[in-house]
Amino acid sequence: MLSYTNQPNAARRMMRFTLDWLNRLKGVDVFFFFVVMLLKQLWFNRLIHVPNMDMNGYDTVVAIGTLALVTFWTFWLPTRGRIIALIVLDILLSFIMYADLIYYRYFQDFISVPVLLQANQVDSLGESIGTLMHAKDFLLAIDWLLVIPFAVYVIWKGRSDLRRDSYGYGYSSSPRKSSVWRKITIRVAVSAAIFAIGMTMSIGNVNEAKKTWALGLFDGNWWNVSLYNVTGIVGFHGYDIYRYAKLHWVDSEQASAEETAEALAFTETRGDNRQALESDPTFGEYKGSNVILVQMEAFQNFMIGKSIGGQEITPNLNKLVKESAYFSQFYHQTAQGRTSDADFLSNCSLQPLMSGSVFIQYPNHQYNCMTGTLKENGYTTAAFHAYEGGFWNRNTMYANMGYDTFYSKKNYTIDEPVGWSLGDTSFFRQSADIIAKQQEPFYSFLITLSSHYPFTMPEADQTLDVGELDGTLMGDYLQSIHYVDASIGSFIDDLKAKGLWNNTIVAFYGDHDNSIRDWSLFEKFLGQPLNDLQREMILKQVPFIVHLPDGKYAGTHTNVGGQLDVTPTLLHLLGISTADKTLLGQPLITSQPQSKLVVQRNGAFTDGTVYYMPSGDAVAENGKCWNIAANAPTDVQSCLGSVDDARAELSMSDQIVQHDLIASFRAAAVEASADGGEATAVSTSGAGK
């Protein structure tokens, strides 16, 4: 029987044997590392269990490639150093995978640099962390039981062998110069080869995927989980660090003092305009009301009031627009960030980015979003969307915007699946139950999903007879819009039954167009040919419907507006001043309709009289100017006067978003008040937090 005191010696002998063996079979430690880490990645992939994502041949090749990229440099080290480096890498990568796993189970996303910079998001894991840890996760670290004691032994052995240099890698026993150089050359050559192989297997393959099945994924960046599907977990973190560094350190320059002052002056003018409207009787007319704001997926304005074969497509909204302030000349202003852009525009009243999404690229910058402002004013704030919480980086961005709670897919029972997720009828029903339990006053922001492209509805929910459009994208779109309309009808009934209809401002707007690009389908449905202006209006106009508790201001409002006017409109009605907030929009419900310019991300704009479409060469005079009433092109001179205003709005917004100028404005204001000087008229009230 082995005595207790003999055990350490046996263990030590075993370790010594292993070390000798690894030293003799050069590089076999790296081979083990690859096998172990590959198995862990396979296990990780199995544990996160993303639907439709299995580690196939492609993923394995990319995973080996990324492992080669994180290990190539270890060949520069002597055997013992390399073994320790590999063990450290093993512990580090396993730890990252484990952290990602826990985070994924809660947020359906992976930990990214912005998440790490925003500690309060991880905080929200809080009490539930215990339920997120499963016994089988232990396999991700099972090898630590052996490798950690082995690492300790190797370090200890290294120290005691230092004088003897028994492995001949420490250069302490003056080996021949030529043999040292030979070893260095071999190590550099091996590491260079591993690096080259790693690059080909990982980045080479990812680049191929980017040209084919992952086309546009790295530009859109809409979901980290989709990126993971292409890069693997190690590659994802490499890409995430690259993405962050490029955006925040390489591509970004600090805004100069002049640029900051210019942006401040620009937004102050907007604030002054809003302040002037605070003397209007509409300001504060609905002080203290709850607010429910619904962003409707791909809901275009041309659906309102339309019928097909004698059937109303949106009977519930048609009824609602008669009882509400309905804006018939209201535009979405989204760009590549689609749904997330609509959300940002409507809640934070700034323009979206030219490329990418603010939600993904600048989720930690400061904004004066409506959510945060309402929270500061005592509102309970919540967002509701029955899809993966990590999509469009909502988990991170919503925490920054000031939502107390974000109810995502995991908070819903998927009892009526439609398209991507839960059908809107059940989504509204389950959301209303949560809303009704909230502390008043509340702000609830809901995002629908059932009318998402390609609009495939279950047979039972296709209740319209779309005639010759049957089987076309347009036919499917009409079916889905009809279904969403019915869901909204039930939601309104539910709010009435719950006693919320009369003390809540309930507003709806469409997020963006339906992505159907076959104009013959629109023409068939509308029964007329469409010129460029009509197409643009169909594409860009979404409904904006504001139901006030007493039904006041009901009817069709023809003054123009855009998504960035949503926040100023609602805060104005609630009597919350936005004079010192960095917002671009203006209230749309005032006793006298205000004139304004609605600016699109591509530089197009309208004031309700003319519609300007820029030309591709960015020469203002080469753009096209339309007279809306005449539905015909007019002299470009009629539009040129506003081209610079539109461009200024876009560039000022970009400065603010990209250079985090709201943070600078606040810092300047704090400094000014600390100096006892006159505080600059900027928001000191936080970044929507």
The single residue among 326, 379, 387, 477 that binds ligand GP9, judged by CB under 6 A, is 387
Residue with tokens 């490499």: 238
**Minimum distance of ligand GP9 from residue 449's CB (angstroms):** 6
Nearer to ligand GP9, 43 or 222 (CB): 222
409 binds ligand GP9 (CB under 6 A): no
Where b means 16+ CB within 10 Å and e means fewer, 36-58 reads bbbebbebbbebbeeeeeebeeb
Angstrom CA distances, 350 to 341, 342, 585, stand at 9, 10, 8
Q: With left for phi above 0 and alpha for psi between -120 and 50, is residue 313 left, alpha or beta?
A: alpha
Helices (H) and strands (E) in the chain, counts: 25, 19
Of 383-391, 425-433, 481-489, 655-663: span binding ligand GP9 (CB under 6 A): 383-391
Binding residue for ligand GP9, selected from 391, 406, 427, 483, defined by CB under 6 A:
391
Contact between 293 and 346 under an 8 Å Cβ cutoff? The reply is yes
Q: Which residue is nearest to ligand GP9 (CB)?
A: 338
Q: Where are the alpha helices (DSSP H) in 172-314?
A: 177-199, 205-211, 217-220, 224-245, 257-276
* Residues 53/110, Cβ–Cβ less than 8 Å: no
**How far apart are alpha carbons 391 and 460 in whole angstroms?**
28
Residue 606, beta-bridge partner list: 598, 611
Where does this chain touch Mn ion (CB under 5 A) — which range of 9-17, 99-107, 420-428, 505-513?
505-513
Question: Structure tokens of 360?
Answer: 């993904």
What's the closest the beta carbon of residue 389 comes to Mn ion, in angstroms? 16
Site membership for Mn ion, residue 421 (CB under 5 A): no
Contacts with ligand GP9, 448-487, as mask; x by CB under 6 A: -x--x-----------------------------------
Q: CB under 5 to 8 A by kind: which of Mn ion, ligand GP9, none does 59 bind?
A: none
- Which one of Mn ion, ligand GP9, none is in contact with 391 (Cβ closer than 5 to 8 A by kind)? ligand GP9
511 binds Mn ion (CB under 5 A): yes
Judged by beta carbon, residue 334 or residue 361, the one nearer Mn ion is 334
Nearer to Mn ion, 462 or 514 (CB): 514
Contacted entry of ligand GP9, Mn ion, none for residue 380, CB cut-off 5 to 8 Å set by kind: none
Q: Using CA of residue 664, residue 665, residue 670, residue 676, what is the dihedral sign?
A: positive
Contacts of 247 (CB under 8 A, 6+ apart): 361
In the list 224, 260, 329, 339, the residue contacting Mn ion (rule: CB under 5 A) is 339
Residue 601 binds to ligand GP9 (criterion: CB under 6 A)? no
- Nearer to ligand GP9 by Cβ, of 362 and 406: the residue is 406
Residue selected from 339, 368, 373, 567 as contacting ligand GP9 according to rule CB under 6 A: 339
Should residue 427 be labelled a site residue for ligand GP9 when binding is judged by CB under 6 A?
no
Tell me, what amino acid is at 357? S
Single-letter residue type at 427: F
Per the DSSP assignment, residues forming a β-bridge with 611 are 606, 626
Q: Which is nearer to Mn ion, 118 or 301 (CB)?
A: 301
Between 236 and 384, whose beta carbon lies closer to ligand GP9? 384
- Whether the link from the prior residue into 454 is cis, omega within 30° of 0, is yes
CA 329 to chain centre: 28
Beta strand 380-384 with 405-407 is parallel
Size of the site for ligand GP9 (CB under 6 A): 9
Q: What is the contact surface with ligand GP9 in residues (CB under 6 A)?
A: 338-339, 385, 387, 391-392, 447, 449, 452
